[in-house]
Amino acid sequence: KLQLTLAVLKPDISLNEKAVSEIRKIILQDNYLFIRTKFHKLTLNQAKDFYKVHEKKFFYNRLVYSMSSGPIWCHILARENAIKEWRKLMGPTKVFKTIYDDPNSLRGNYGVTDTRNTLHGSDSDENAKAEMDFFFPEFDFESWYAKE
């Protein structure tokens, strides 16, 4: 059974063509299907809206400025256990942790700081739906799941 998730390549990496194509290759080798792809630039207000659950966190400002600092690649990916597996492939949120826990993860290879950790992935089915809707309002995931 395939599951959908939202995978975002952040501004830290989206203009690095070599890194983007390396990451896409790894995604394909890990048995994901690319369902939708969009090159997108968030305004500061859109980034604030996307990350509003983190509004009260100390890193909120740096996060929303960083996310709106350049273009991003947004993808809807499908795979068995896509949400959990994509988070595993990305590695820990905090890049310094990848040094000990998961140096071969995507964040371990490409991440720069805890904020500029190069990738985002949905953390639950409910959030995946909300996030797909945010970036791909025209995508009808309910009928996609109905056919699947």
List active site positions.
120
Is 117 marked as binding a ligand?
yes
Which listed residue (24, 114, 134, 141) binds ligand CMP by CB under 6 A? 114
In whole angstroms, the minimum distance from the beta carbon of 94 to ligand CMP comes to 6
The owner of tokens 């953390």 is 123
The Cα-based distances of 3 to 26, 130, 137 in angstroms read 18, 14, 18
What the block records as the tokens of 55 is 């509004």
Contact pattern for ligand CMP over residues 48 through 87, marking x by CB under 6 A:
------x----x---x------------------------
Q: What residues does 73 pair with on adjacent strands?
A: 9, 39
CB of 9 to ligand CMP, least distance (A): 11
- Residue 117 makes contact with ligand CMP by CB under 6 A: yes
Find where tokens 């970036």 sit.
135
* Residue 115 binding ligand CMP, by CB under 6 A: yes
Tell whether residue 93 is among the known ligand binding residues.
yes
| 93 binding ligand CMP? (CB under 6 A) | yes
Return the amino acid letter for 107: R
Q: Are 51 and 67 in contact (CB under 8 A)?
A: yes
**62 annotated as ligand-binding:** no
| Residue window 10-49: x/- pattern of binding to ligand CMP, with contact defined by CB under 6 A | ----------------------------------------
Whether 10 has a binding-site annotation, put simply, is yes
Judge contact between 71 and 62, C-beta under 8 A. no
Q: Compute φ and ψ for 135, nearest 5 degrees.
A: -90, -25
